[in-house]
Amino acid sequence: MVVPAFWYQAYQRSLSGGYEYDTPIGSAGWRLRFTPPEAGAYSLSLIVQTNRQPFGAPVNTSFNVPANTPPARFGYVGIAASRQYFQTGDGQALRLIGENVCWPDGPGTYDYDTWFSAMQNAGENYARIWMCPWAFGIEDTSTSLDNYSQQPAWQLDYVLQLAEQRGIYLLLCLDYHGMFATQPDSWGGNNYWPQNPYNVTNGGSCMVANDFFTNTTAEIIYQKRLRYLVARYGYSQNLLAWEFLNEIDNDYSFLNPNDVAAWHGVMGGWLHTNDVFGHLVTTSLTGGSDRPEIWSLPQLDFAAYHSYGEPGPATRLDAVAQSFLQNYGKPMMVGEFGTSAADWNRTNDPYLRGFRQGVWGGALSGSVGIAMSWYWQNINSENDYPIYSALGTILNRTGWGQGFWTNIAFQTAGAPPVTVGNPLPGGQPVDVQLPLNDGWGAMTSGQMAVPGPQAAYYSAFALDSFVQGIWHADLKTPFQLSAWFTNNASLVMHLNSVSDGSIMVVLVDGTQLFSTNLPNLDGGYSVDEEYNLDIPVDLPGGHHLITITNAGDDWFDLDWVQLNQVLPATYSGNWQPSPDAIGLSGPRESLLYVVAPGVSFPANATTATLPVQHAQTVTLTNWPAGNFIAEWYDPATAASLGLTQATTTNNSLVLSMPDFTEDLAAIVYAPPTLTALNFSSSNGFQFRLDSEPGGQYFIQKSSDLLSWISFLNVTNTNGTIILRDPSSETDSRSFFRARKAD
């Protein structure tokens, strides 16, 4: 193995006034880090070059790694045979439970002392770190080109070594999109190209940002940085992967996507060739940006998806993960997640239902782990860690991530009809506010019925907040509402922002009722509440189809729409909703996550008390024949909610669920089996227990099938375990059974 060395300066940290201060200690010098893969005798030949020419003869030495001091932890992370999950070097499944902790606040590395301790206690084993100008960036200032900043490099040393102690794997993001931007974004910053050392004004070779991805000199210098990172941090088996860039497609308005993709191929190939430790390589893009030119690259080992503000997080992430797995045949990670892109969004998710649905949606979608939350400071300040520990308590006793897992199909009521049925006798008029899907290019169906308040459960799936004009005809979707109205009815549209040349038009049954021009007040193109205005339109009574459209050039954005004086009605065909369910079927058991009807975020997210779901069922289709047991759990607390059993009928398994209000998790498996192996006078009767991984059983014995005695209490960690009854005698007649432990 050829291992590069690196330049190193040690520091002593201190904390004063809530801020970290680092003081250089000792002399700077060259260092070499190497993790021995096994015990034994090693020889080392140290070769020094200057200007790529040998500087003297090699220096040879040797060292010994004792057998009683395991030199390796679990081995470097790789991809399992299923091409779906990660595994450690010893072949064990690596299921990721964690979050982004990309940079610290004022206390610097002291923050990670707090965060990593809390994460370890909650059962988390994953974190993502950014290298950026304000944290851990070693080549992010105008004077750092090929002259790496040692203080942030030492801080990253500390954090990585702390992660090793806490059993946390780090995904290291090497750059973020703001390093190439020249103009402030909607946050008022993230425009670091003027200070980027690769900029020609700072001594670099790039006239414009796109040159970074095409300029040969820049590529050579960047590869030197990669070499340094491999030398300094590549030794660690807790370094999960190298992630080149964070959301570089944020810059595609001035970068060439084909150049960016080609660069990833070159640099990914360089790392795979020169990282002697063999770490995985990836990058990241924004949510909704599924770009084949990036994810099809063989040099990128897994894909990353960022999810913000997407309605129905569990079912949405399930669909996204399955699409990625089918399209690219490589693992997929939900690398960032939030119920809003703007902030932690606790106001709109006060009970963390949306957050929990995203966490579980990532875990049981087929991605490499849970959906990784972005808002780490909030999670810590609010102590929201129990959500992670509950998930780990339920899933880590199973075979989750081990072997091949397939997506489960469910029988559902489907999407609600887009038209209303008959008015309900004696129904009193109601006002119905409809939340909208604020994802750019969401491509919603744009049609929905409004039979009453329950329509708000589904509006974020059906209606796009961006009402497009002719300039984005490819993104234009309908915006149509079917409802019954009394007299004095009205439509209220809460206008957030507009682009250029917008014309808002409202139609009733195809006839124009309202139209107004919407000037671009601030001259910008961001959703920044430049209007923050309610626009009311009176509506006639009766059964009508309301259409909102844009007859102008570019988009206007609505926060919500409200229909006033709606007469309660049925859905056409008397449609009734079913629970939202996702799940995975593995080698020995299946895992389910179920969300109550009308509770899939953002529906009912702010409702304090939800109705009890009584006598609900969930139907698994294309199911194998046999009898099955379902263990039910509360995803918020991991509390056991009991067992139900069912038998497959016509390729479907209908599972009864315990009473619940929000969501449920379940482990589904066939009953345990005992198989006779052999008998000997010395070892007694030997038999095999096959059950779900992690299953806890009492092995009982009887001579008459009437009275049973428990003589073994076993936990079947692998799904198959060999047992024996040494007390058996040659002429005895005994019966054995396995009973579930309480």
Q: Domains in the chain, please, with CATH?
A: 420-573 (2.60.120.260), 574-669 (2.60.40.1180), 673-740 (2.60.40)
Residue 520 · residue 467 · CB < 8 Å: no
Residue 434: name the closest of 376, 393, 492, 389 by CA: 492
Average of pLDDT values for 464-491? 95
Return mean pLDDT, the chain.
Answer: 94
User: Lowest-confidence range among 394-398, 407-411, 722-726, 731-735?
Assistant: 731-735
Q: How many CB atoms lie within 10 A of CB 32?
A: 14
Query: For residues 708 and 338, what is the distance between their CA atoms, to the nearest angstrom?
Result: 53
> Residue 576: what pLDDT?
87
Split at pLDDT 50, 70, 90, the class of 641 is very high
Query: For residues 194 and 200, what is the distance between their CA atoms, to the nearest angstrom?
Result: 9
Burial class of residue 37, CB neighbours in 10 A (0-12, 13-18, 19+): middle
Q: How many CB atoms lie within 10 A of CB 48?
A: 13
Burial class of residue 704, CB neighbours in 10 A (0-12, 13-18, 19+): exposed
- Which tokens belong to 651? 């390729």
pLDDT above 80 (res 289): no
Split at pLDDT 50, 70, 90, the class of 69 is low
To 5 degrees, how large is the angle CA 412–CA 413–CA 415? 110
> Residue 731: what pLDDT?
53
State phi, psi for 702 to the nearest 5 degrees. -145, 150
State phi, psi for 218 to the nearest 5 degrees. -65, -40
Candidate ranges 353-367, 402-416, 719-733; pick with highest mean pLDDT = 353-367
> Residue 728: what pLDDT?
61
Share of residues in the chain with pLDDT > 90 (%): 83
pLDDT above 60 (res 449): yes
> Residue 475: what pLDDT?
93
> Residue 72: what pLDDT?
56
pLDDT above 70 (res 460): yes
If you compute the radius of gyration of the chain from its CA atoms, what whole number of angstroms results?
Answer: 30
Place of tokens 């095999």: 688
> Residue 450: what pLDDT?
96
Place of tokens 């054995």: 736
User: Lowest-confidence range among 272-276, 573-577, 648-652?
Assistant: 573-577
> Residue 252: what pLDDT?
93
Query: For residues 250 and 284, what is the distance between their CA atoms, to the nearest angstrom?
Result: 11
Strand partners, 483: 544
Outline where 447-540 has alpha helix (H).
459-462
Split at pLDDT 50, 70, 90, the class of 448 is very high
> Residue 44: what pLDDT?
96
Residue 461 · residue 606 · CB < 8 Å: no
Split at pLDDT 50, 70, 90, the class of 459 is very high
Residue 435 neighbours by CB under 8 Å, 6+ apart: 311, 456, 459, 460, 560, 602
Q: Tell me the pTM.
A: 0.88
Split at pLDDT 50, 70, 90, the class of 190 is confident
- Which tokens belong to 691? 């059950």
Helix (H) or strand (E) holding 8: strand 6-16
> Residue 187: what pLDDT?
74
Split at pLDDT 50, 70, 90, the class of 37 is confident
- Which tokens belong to 291? 């770009």
Express each pLDDT in 168-184 by its tens digit.
999 999 999 999 999 88
Q: How far is CA 93 from the centre of its chain?
A: 18
pLDDT above 60 (res 71): no
Average of pLDDT values for 586-593? 95
Residue 650 neighbours by CB under 8 Å, 6+ apart: none
Q: How far is CA 328 from the centre of its chain?
A: 18
DSSP category for residue 623: P
User: Lowest-confidence range among 100-109, 147-156, 705-714?
Assistant: 705-714
Cis peptide before 602 (omega within 30 of 0): yes
Helix (H) or strand (E) holding 270: helix 257-274
- Which tokens belong to 547? 């259409």
Residue 303: name the closest of 325, 318, 271 by CA: 325
